[in-house]
Amino acid sequence: MNYRLTVNGRAAEVDVPGGTPLSDVLRDHLHLRGTKVSCGTGRCGSCTVRLGDRAVASCLLPVALAEAEPVTTVEGLSAPDGPLHPVQEAMVSCHGVQCGACTPGMVMTLSTFLDTTADPDAGQVREALTGNLCRCTGYHTIVDAALTAAAAAPTPREDRL
């Protein structure tokens, strides 16, 4: 069956069964492999993307339910030759970048969270990250990055793309 998506501001059409996870569509059909799949069961957050204005686990979302709202993946947070998103900048400067499996999902969760929470405290950031698991390193520098990004001058999303 054909599904029409909007991914990172571009129209995309895929011919897959309606129950195909959005993460598979992104990675295998649209070649957007910044979205990672670790558990595949909605428990780790590595597959997090933005659907409309909320962060979702794309491994749990059937593609048939992703047509109505725009999808943003980590590749769409900033233009290829443009400045990084403030969360990405802060993840670098605060040494919050960890492995390639968990980091994209953390970035997507935090960028979505900060769009609706202008001045969070550390507890709110940790709560926002409850769906994003790191099995090995810890969250201290990631929380620092979120607070640093929140303190940076907000940049309207349309100006970053």
DSSP 121-147: -HHHHHHHGGG---SSS-SHHHHHHHH
Interaction of residue 40 with ligand FES, rule CB under 6 A = yes
Instruction: Determine which residue in the list 6, 98, 124, 141 makes contact with ligand FES, applying CB under 6 A.
Output: 98
CA dihedral over 62, 67, 71, 73, signed as positive or negative? positive
- Considering only 12, 16, 39, 161, the residue that binds ligand FES (CB under 6 A) is 39
Q: Which of 49, 61, 102, 143 touches ligand FES by CB under 6 A?
A: 102
3 state DSSP class of 28: helix
Q: Is 137 in the site for ligand FES (CB under 6 A)?
A: yes
Half-sphere CA count of 89, side-chain side, radius 13 A: 16
Which lies closer to ligand FES via its Cβ, residue 42 or residue 70?
A: 42
For ligand FES, the binding residue among 26, 32, 56, 59 (CB under 6 A) is 59
Among positions 66-95, residues that touch ligand FES (CB under 6 A) are none
**Which two structure tokens, joined as six digits, stand for 107?**
């970035």
Query: Within 13 Å, how many C-alpha atoms sit on residue 149's CB side?
Result: 31
CA distance 1 to 151: 45
Site for ligand FES contains 45 (CB under 6 A): yes
User: Which residue, among 72, 91, 77, has the nearest Cα to 147 in the 3D structure?
Assistant: 91
Site for ligand FES contains 153 (CB under 6 A): no
Q: Does 101 contact ligand FES by CB under 6 A?
A: yes
Sheet holding 54-57, edge to edge: 10-15, 2-7, 71-72, 48-51, 54-57
Binding ligand FES (rule: CB under 6 A), the pick from 6, 12, 16, 38 is 38
Given the complex with ligand FES, which of 14 and 108 has the nearer CB atom? 108
**Which spans of this chain sit near ligand FES (rule: CB under 6 A)?**
37-40, 42-47, 57, 59, 98-99, 101-102, 134-137
